[in-house]
Structures are given as structure tokens and as C-alpha cells.
Amino acid sequence: MWREMALLGGLLLGACAGPALAADDKPLLQAGKKTLYQRVLTTPSCRLGDQPGAAGGKPQPAFTRFYVYQRQKVGDGEWLKVGPDSYGETLGWIDAGCAVDWKMQMTLALTNPAGREPLLFFRQRETLDKLFGADDPGKLLKPIRANLAGQGRDAAVVAREPDYAVDLAKRFYLLPVLDAREIMTEKGFRVRELEVASVTAAEPKSAEQAARDKAGEVNTLKGFSAAVVFVIDSTISMGPYIDRTREAIRKIYQRIEQEKLLEQVRFGLVAYRSNIKEVPALEYVSKLYVDPAKVQGGEDFLAKMAALKPATVSSSRFDEDAYAGVMRALDGIDWTRFGARYIVLVSDAGALDGTDPLSATGLDAAQVRLEAKHRGVAIYSLHLKTPSGAKNHASAEAQYRDLSNNPILNKPLYYPVDAGDVDNFGSKIDALAVAITGQVKAAYRGEMAAGSALGADADYGGKADATLLEDTAKLGHAMRLAYLGAATGASAPPVFHAWIGDRDFVKQNVPTTEVRVLLTKAQLSDLAEVVKKIADAANEGLISPNEMFERLRSVAATMGKDPNQLQKGGKSATLAEMGLMAEYLEGLPYLSEVLSLDEETWKGMEGLEQEKFIRRLNTKLKYYQKYNADADRWVSLAEGSDPRDHVYPVPLEALP
């Protein structure tokens, strides 16, 4: 699959063959495609002229995406007539030699650098081979990093990742892949060596400039603050835990007031229950009691929290609408005001699945987790395993592990409280609040080390979970890197061609990059339509398994697929082979459980497994609707392009 990533963005310098002339109402199609147009990305040398072959022209911003409407030979070279979008507008001509083809709109996002060494961009792939093939890559890296630290350069390195996290949502950047291959390292990990492109090389920083930057970092960190929002199940059984949370917050407010950190640490509170149409006496599904951006200190917080009482009636199900509570916290609070962002979910029950008719959001754990990731919010799950919920413990644990799986630590921030012990729960709340406050205090002092606040208040945590403290320290470090990245305007390394690994050389289980697929409005709409048709057919298949794939063949036929192609492969033909995969998804570097599904596999599934498959499809549909409505995350890749060709950076895991 990743060998096909050599075509990721199709960035092979040999252009698709096309006719010398074409009508200007539509761009040229890519070779062998029926719906995908030819696109190129500009490099810093591109100039836009009125005629092919003309000297001069207007310089173009690097990495502008243009659609190709005509190709014309001029002497030994080729020129492209280009436009900003696919809707007929053309701007002029550029030399094909200054641009690179981009067949598939994909880009890489750099992960938060906490817990790994900054990513190095190497001149030659052979350097990656040596590092990944070594028993001790750290030994080979040591002189390279020493040169970078002392001289600001090394002969093997084109660029170095910034020390701080680069937020793709705030500072969108393109890091397309020109070539790729998958290898097995000496340590036994599968990694991908990627040739990437960026804009242009910058002058390396001197040691003196690096020292000045470090001094500036200390001052910048003085503005670092934290928001801790408790999202609490407020149903009839939760009274003791609400009281214990209130006690923990009262104690921590006393402490932060003494240390004059009131402006640096804020707490918030959201409560949730379940569907009020089913049980009106529950009063609300979710409610924001305290907004951390507006609270005026401890007394104000506790006065507002005093209004929170457990429900007086039971819900219609044991599971409650936990995802509605988390989404209320994510959507209802201005998280951009805080550097460290935490949600602490407290519940003694599972969460309503997104496909449950009682669900207010229609989302599952995976989609809610992606929303939290987009906002830079870490979710802790404190799961109260009370005796009354014994039959629910396993399913709830699976949900909350998924919800709180943290991409920085590469593990779930899930902490069970056995038997729902109130004292044990209280010690965890105490430890968490103190650890987060300690991280903010350390930042105010200008300390960046991941463990700088560890142990400082250990006596205050009582029976504190050491794992929880360690996780919080590492997260605090990562969030300071993200804060510094936003405060200093950190951007992707300005290189042009270089080779990187998608895993850290030393900690090879830690990813350095994530893939984003850039979909237009039409493509997202098309994707949602196809997923809905597959889900509808699957629903029918639950009643009559023989009907599902016949229905899907009919769907494919209505989409204009070749009837002969639909019969090839018989029962072993996958949904992708039947033609249900849109061309913009072909060759993506991921394994799709949907598009790799065949008739034999479907019929071999148990009923419960089939139902889970359908639920996953339906929750992804809800998420695509959220993408479509999210105006802030749509990106223009060319000045003046039609909004219909703006793109949304969809994570691979959100695809079907």
C-alpha cells in the first residue's frame, strides 16, 4: 500500500500525458481517471505569464495548488495553462518545470514533539537506511545533533523540526510526499521512509540566536495557563462523587490563591444525564455550570457548583449520554485562552453509543476523541466501577479507553476506581488537580522539563496513582510545547526536498507524522452518500444476508460502474473492487474495513459484529456532517479559488 504512496500527491516529476489543447471549461483529467483532474503545486521559482514560453511573469506563492487546463510544448519544455479551481477560471501559464504534480491531495502533519527527539529532515534516503538499520540509532545521531546544537548545521541535514509543536489547525501548512517506502527496522518495527517537499531552505540559527530564543521562552511561558473542566455524570447515584469533587476543588483553590496563580489555573464544570424526552424529570441532557474562561475564583466556582445536585429520578437506561457532556465542554468553552487543556470525565456508567436513538450527538468515542484532539484537549476518564454496574464495566471500560486514548502519550488516560471507592476516587482527583497546578507553576518559573513538577506535591496527593502523576507531567510538557509553538508562531521546517522517517529513530513506537486527506465539499458529500448507501444495504443485510451485496451491486450500477466489472471476483470481490471506492480514495495508505469487505466475510460475521459495523458507519456519517458545517477548518489552497474547491484536512482514521 505504501509503495503506492510514491504517488501520494502523485508528485512524480513526469507529468500525465494530455492533449496539447483542451477546452477551458474543465481541467484536464489525470491519466486513467474519470473524475480526478490534473493538479500541480508551485515551487518558489514559478512565475505566471500571459503566454506559454514568455519570459518574466508574476511570481507565485510557493505551494499554491493550480488545476491544469492545457499543456503546450515550447521548445524542449512544457507549459501549463492553470487556474485556481476546477470551475473554468484560468489565470495564465507557468513552466511545468517549476511545478510538481499532485495527483492525490494529501499532506503530513507533524505530531507533538514531546517524548521524542525533534524530527530531522535528511538530504539522502541512505542516511535513514543507516539509522533504521542500526542496533543503536542514538549513537549515530549523537554527532549529528551535536553539530546542529553547536554550529546550527550538519552536512547530512536539510532542516530540523521546531522545538515547539506546530498546530495544523491554526497554521495550516502543506508537507506533501514525493516518494515513500516501507521497511522493517533492526529493532523490528515497520516504518515508512518519506520523501517530502516544503517551501524553501532557511538560514540555520546560530548558537547565539538559539540562546536568545531560550531566554525568550522563559518569558513567554509566564503567560501559560490551564483549564481543567470536570464533566460529571449527575444522575441519581453520583451524589458522593459530586461532593468529593467539590471538596478537592475547594482545597486546590485555597492553594492556588496562596501561590497567586488564580489567573493561571481555572476550573470548569459540565454535568450530563440522558435523554429528557424519554424521562423529562431528568431536566437536561448536558449543562455547563462553570465556564473556566469566566469564573472569578474559588468562591465563585463553589457557589456555581452548589447548584449541581444529583437527579431525583433514574434514567431509562443504565448508560448515560457521556459524549453529550464531553461535547458540551468542547463546544461551549473557549479553549484557545488556555495553554494546558484538560477534561476530567467522571462516571459510574457507560456512554450511549452514537447510533442509540437516545444519543444527543450521534457520535461515538472515536469521533469525540478527534474533536478533543483538534482543540488540543486531553481527556481523562475516571471510571467508577461500582457494584451496581458490574455487568456494564467491560463495555464502559472499552468506551472510555477509546475516548481517552491520548495521541501524545500513545496510551489511554483511563483510571478505574475499583468498587467506586470514594476515598480512592478523591485521592485521584486531589493528585490530578495538584499535578496540573504544579505544571503551571513550573511553567511560570520557566521550567520546561517533563518531570519538573513531579513529586513537588506528592504528600498532598495521599494515595495518588503514580501512573496518573507521571502521565500528567508528560502531558504538561507537551502542552507547554504546543503553547510555545502557538505563541512564537512556530511553523513547519522550511525545506524543499528531504527524507524523513514516520517514526522516531530511538523510540520507534512513537510516530513523528500523521496523514491528512484533503477533501473538497463535493468529495465529502460524495463520501457521505456512498457510506450511507453501504449502511442502508448493510441494515437490509441483517434481515437477509444474501440481499446486501445484491443491493450494493445495484448501487454501484446506478453510479455508472461497468456491469461486467461488478460480477468479477464473485463473492470474494470487495466493495472497492465493485467500484464503490471513489477515485480520490484509491491508493490511500490505510486499510479500510469497509472497502476491503467482501460477501463471504460479511456472511461469516455474527449478528452482533454486523451491528457494530453498521454503528461505526452511521457515527462516521454524523461526523462528516460536522465537518461540512465547520467553516473554520476549510482551507483555500489557491488565492481566489472557488469555495467549492476549498479542502478539509480529514484524518485517515475518520475515513470509512
Residue, of 587 and 414, whose pLDDT is higher:
414
Predicted confidence at residue 451, as pLDDT, reads 42
- Residue 143: pLDDT over 80: yes
- Residue with more model confidence, 110 or 322: 322
pLDDT of residue 459: 44
**CA 550 from chain center: how many Å?**
36
Arithmetic mean of pLDDT, 327-355: 92
User: What is the model's pLDDT at position 122?
Assistant: 93
Q: How far apart are CA 221 and CA 163, in angstroms?
A: 14
For 298, what's the count of Cα atoms within 13 Å in the CB-facing half-sphere? 16
- In this predicted structure, the answer to whether residue 312 has a pLDDT above a threshold of 70 is yes
- pLDDT of res. 447: 54
d(CA 361, CA 523) in angstroms, rounded, equals 24
Please say whether the beta carbons of 510 and 502 come within 8 A. no
- The residue type at 158: V
Q: By mean pLDDT, which of 173-177, 333-337, 649-653 is the weakest?
A: 173-177
Q: How far is CA 580 from the centre of its chain?
A: 26
Q: How confident is the model at residue 462 (pLDDT cuts 50, 70, 90)?
A: very low
Cell of 254: 485555597
Q: Give the percent of the chain with pLDDT over 90.
A: 32
Does residue 402 carry a pLDDT above 90? yes
Which of 316-320, 498-502, 591-595 bottoms out in mean pLDDT, i.e. has the lowest? 591-595
| Residue-level pLDDT at 374 | 85
**Quick count: other Cβ atoms within 10 Å of Cβ 184?**
11
**pLDDT (tens digit, 9 = 90+) per residue, 32-47?**
888 889 999 888 788 9
Burial-class residue 141 by CB neighbours within 10 Å (0-12, 13-18, 19+): middle
Report the pLDDT value the prediction gives residue 496, as an integer from 0 to 100. Answer: 65
Place of cell 491528512: 516
Which of 652, 649, 542, 640 has the alpha carbon at shortest distance from 89? 640
What average pLDDT does the segment 427-443 reach?
A: 80
Q: What are phi and psi of 273, to 5 degrees?
A: -135, -115
The pLDDT, as a whole number, for residue 458 is 42
pLDDT number for residue 319: 93
Q: Give exposure, 251-264, as e/b (b: 16+ Cβ within 10 Å).
A: ebbebbeeeebeeb
**E strand map for 161-272:** 177-184, 190-197, 226-233, 265-272
Distance CA 368, CA 492 (A): 27
* Residues listed for the chain: 656
Q: Which among 527, 506, 508 has a CA at the least distance from the CA of 518? A: 527
Angstrom distance (rounded) from CA 111 to CA 119: 10
Grid coordinates given for 252: 486546590
What are the DSSP E strand ranges found in 467-601? 497-501, 513-520
The pLDDT mean for the chain works out to: 80
Beta carbons of 652 and 631 less than 8 angstroms apart: no
Supply the Cα-derived Rg of the chain in whole angstroms. 27
Look at residue 461 and tell me whether its pLDDT is greater than 60.
Answer: no
pLDDT by residue (tens digit) across 495-522?
Answer: 467 899 999 999 999 999 888 888 888 8
Judging by DSSP bridges, how do beta strands 226-233 and 265-272 pair with one another?
A: parallel
Instruction: Give the model confidence (pLDDT) of 36-78 as tens digits.
Output: 899 998 887 889 999 998 888 999 887 889 999 999 999 888 9
Q: How large is the average pLDDT for residues 5-18?
A: 30
Give me the pLDDT at residue 437, please. 78
pLDDT of residue 382: 92
Strands (DSSP E) found in 62-134:
65-74, 77-83, 92-95, 99-101, 106-110, 120-122
631 contacts: CB under 8 Å, gap ≥ 6: none
Q: 454 pLDDT exceeds 50?
A: no
Residue-wise pLDDT tens digits, 216-242: 444 556 567 888 899 999 999 999 999
pLDDT digits (tens, 9 = 90+) for 601-620: 888 888 888 888 888 888 88
Distance CA 483, CA 335 (A): 12
Q: Tens digit of pLDDT for each residue in 438-447?
A: 777 776 665 5
What are the tens digits of pLDDT across the range 145-171? Answer: 999 888 888 889 888 887 777 776 666
Most confident option among 15-19, 79-83, 493-497, 634-638: 79-83
In contact, 501 and 196? CB cutoff 8 Å: no
pLDDT greater than 60 at residue 87: yes
> Using one digit for the tens of pLDDT, what is the confidence trace for 544-582?
766 777 777 777 666 555 555 545 555 667 777 777 767
Query: In the numeric block, which cell numbers belong to residue 125?
Result: 534516503
Q: What is the dihedral of CA 368, 372, 374, 378, to 10 degrees?
A: -150
pLDDT at 571: 64
- Per cent of the chain over pLDDT 70 is 81
CA–CA separation, 78 and 87 (whole Å)? 23
CA gap 311, 168 in Å, rounded: 41
Instruction: Say what the pLDDT of residue 343 is.
Output: 94
Longest dimension (CA), the chain: 83
Q: What is the pLDDT of residues 265-295, one digit of tens each?
A: 889 999 999 999 999 999 999 999 999 999 9
Say yes or no to pLDDT of 300 above 60: yes
The set of long-range contacts for 388-393, using a CB threshold of 8 Å and a minimum separation of 24, is 388/237, 388/348, 389/318, 389/348, 389/349, 392/318, 392/319, 392/349, 392/350
Region 122-141 average pLDDT = 92
Does the pLDDT value for residue 625 go beyond 90? no
Query: Which positions ≥6 away from 250 have C-beta within 8 Å?
Result: 298, 302
| Predicted TM-score (pTM) of this structure | 0.69
Is the distance from CB of 117 to CB of 524 less than 8 angstroms?
no
> Residue 553 and residue 580: Cα distance in Å, rounded?
9
